[in-house]
Structure 1
């Protein structure tokens, strides 16, 4: 598998995303996956907030699906897009003084982008991942996260396949979406690299398709309730919500 980080100029609110991509991306090959950080989509779409008009705490509560306050760190742990995130994904870095939110309709954003890239570059099999970074319990540091995808199946199932001793596996799936996002974000960086794009080629176990990612597809990737191994921990606290 090869990963090519792609540089861009500094991106500001309401810049034209298609122009940025045309000027930055090389020729895309069949079966490539383009990873794009959610921040530049949000900036180009204008999914931002002025800190002079709303506090970050109020913004987090508004944007989160549910939240709990972590007093030790004076911040909120939130549920958003089916994952746990600090501050509902709202970011202030590389944002020129704005709060940057997630894209307003992330499914529409990823599907529109995927179809446009296929048409513009004349490719049939192409994946797109909208990425961000997040933290994981009991580990220091951040990892890449796939917020949404287009053009490929996000899971690879080992169910029914034998292990090294011939025993059929019962439950194992590989989360390709987050595995690919993590690899790309490692190459893209978190600071002043100005590489908010990456191209992945020859990714193993990926099956491409030409269907739009639906809300049902998105929900099928998420796990909750009694299925979730970590459910007892998540349900042991009282989550607040404004919705």
Structure 2
């Protein structure tokens, strides 16, 4: 399997992302294109100017507690509410949020700051996810044409683990999971519970190439894989809180 970076000029609102990716990368039939959610949000004009934000008392208190602009935390609170979520806690200026976006049938997403970021965006702005990441993934796949898949990603954290990883928000053109149930292990024992998180693993592998600073590599091509392609488009769903091994811990 090959992972091929797509390096582009700095993206801006109104850019034709599919055309830019096709010009900068040799996307072929059967490829999976892993793309940053922030890249899509940028071209869709989803960046938010903090000067335009009305700050509530709750956001102001968070700002004072963590020495950051209250407007930033207001956007975090607004995005959390928009995605049917709630604030779990805040540590070292980072707000852990649990989100249940419209269309997500099972589980929720635990993510810092409701997916918002102040990096790779103009000063005084914040950027989060596309307004509808499922629609965005499907449209990008259609615009790229051919038999390709799309994975929309964001960076996040794992419990008790140091450092940033990436995870898949939405996919189009492939299943995000592959069940190993019933398949034999090295000793012939049938697997009973294992389900491979295909999209998440590809997201993290691609993010290692994309980087999180000034690489200007918003997408990576996954080529030479044996993943079945189909017409599925949707959120990469999770598990309900009561079934989560971390339930009661976070």
Give the TM-score taking structure 2 as reference length.
0.83
CA distance in 2, matches of 1:190, 1:3: 17
Q: 1:18-64 deviations in whole A, cap 9, x for unaligned? A: 342232222x2222100111111101111121011220111101111
The answer to whether structure 1 residue 208 and structure 2 residue 229 are counterparts is yes
Q: 1:44-95 deviations in whole A, cap 9, x for unaligned? A: 111121011220111101111111332x402310123532111011111110
The answer to whether structure 1 residue 66 and structure 2 residue 66 are counterparts is no
Q: Could you tell me which residue of structure 1 aligns to residue 97 of structure 2?
A: 78
How much has 1:197 moved relative to structure 2?
1.1
Give the one of 96, 109, 112 matched to 2:122: 96
CA contact (8 A) 1:12 1:95 kept: no
CA distance in 2, matches of 1:93, 1:192: 10
The answer to whether structure 1 residue 169 and structure 2 residue 191 are counterparts is yes
The answer to whether structure 1 residue 199 and structure 2 residue 195 are counterparts is no
Q: Could you tell me which residue of structure 1 aligns to residue 30 of structure 2?
A: 31
Q: 1:82-118 deviations in whole A, cap 9, x for unaligned? A: 3211101111111012211210011110011112212
Q: Could you tell me which residue of structure 1 aligns to residue 46 of structure 2?
A: 47
Length, aligned pairs only: 221
Q: 1:104-149 deviations in whole A, cap 9, x for unaligned? A: 011110011112212xxxx23x110111111111111101111111
CA distance in 2, matches of 1:19, 1:165: 49
**Following superposition, which runs of at least 4 residues in structure 1 exceed 4 angstroms of deviation?**
none
Q: What's the RMSD between the two structures over aligned residues?
A: 1.6
Q: 1:194-235 deviations in whole A, cap 9, x for unaligned? A: 11111011224x2111x2414xxx37x31113322222224x
Give the one of 198, 206, 209 matched to 1:187: 209
Q: Could you tell me which residue of structure 1 aligns to residue 165 of structure 2?
A: 143
Q: Could you tell me which residue of structure 1 aligns to residue 4 of structure 2?
A: 4
How much has 1:185 moved relative to structure 2?
0.5
Change in Cα spacing, 1:56 to 1:17, as seen in structure 2 (3 Å) is: same
Q: Could you tell me which residue of structure 1 aligns to residue 73 of structure 2?
A: 57
